[in-house]
Amino acid sequence: PKRNSVESTATLTKSKPKPMSSRIKTQSTTNSCRTDKSPKLKGLVANDTITWAKGEVLGKGAYGTVYCGLTSQGQLIAVKQVCLDSSDPDAAKKEYNRLQGEVDLLKTLRHSNIVGFLGTSLYQHVVSIFMEYIPGGSIASILHRFGPLPERVLALYTHQILEGVAFLHQNRVIHRDLKGNNVMLMPTGVIKLIDFGCARRLSCLNPTAPNSGELLKSIHGTPYWMAPEVINESGYGRKSDIWSVGCTVFEMATGKPPLAHMDKMAALFYIGARRGLMPSLPDGFSENAKDFVKICLTSDQSVRPSADQLLKHSFIPKGHTIHSSKMNILWYQNHCEYTPN
């Protein structure tokens, strides 16, 4: 089959999007959540009809397949596609509603460290969610290609992950599946959080009281990154994401999440029992880095710090924010060294 065959025809508009239809729609900017005035969506927004061609598979998961797409205007985009089961109307409706919930979250989240949402379409029982294309790949793939990250890079990435998580939590959103596979990297060094299929918006309005109001009890996430309170179904809030951040930092530092030497069920029992100490970063990392991971992996969620508190931790670099629109080549020339294998 030809790689450049037309996949879909759609119209991009600036009007408030209706529920999923057969058109690609840009996200509405009329919402009560705090927004980041990032220019990343400019250039794709238009009032004319465009087409897009389906390219290679970028990733597959339990909830669909993500493709690279090329629009008729020349932009690369990421397209998540989910096939609804036309033979089972009840199952199709349930899956459609789940996807609608993901879209409703994404269209309100505009931040430089969160993947940009572009629109949706429904065509012949296939739901497509159009998003910003992130060519650098996931942190998990970076670790596979280059091995564990040096502490300088680890700190820069952790800073941006926390900025994205803090923004989510200020907008009452829990990601619930933070891990290396769901943290993406732009070629400029900008981190983007992706995959909001498990995310949930809380009813609690007070960001300084992350465990008051609504507590969630359903189990979501990936075993090695799941917090004790999630495993035990004892009720959890924003602090469950902080545990996952600690596991992701450990993953970036060592190449694997904590307890990766155990099988999944054994790791779940170990974390849920809260009887053993979680592993610390190996020798060679600074005491600041070790302390950061340690406090993220505090078993008691009421004692675990918030994302805003962690941004003030001494491990987090100050004044090194990387912007997606600029790449400071001089900074790289002055700070980077080539290390042969």
Would the annotation count 290 as a binding residue? no
From the list 168, 197, 167, 169, the residue with the least C-alpha distance to 181 is 197
Of 85, 177, 283, 300, the catalytic one is 177
Is 85 annotated as catalytic?
A: no
Distance CA 27, CA 41 (A): 10
Q: Would you list which residues are annotated within the binding site for ATP?
A: 80
Point out the residues that are catalytic: 177
Q: Would you list which residues are annotated within the binding site?
A: 80
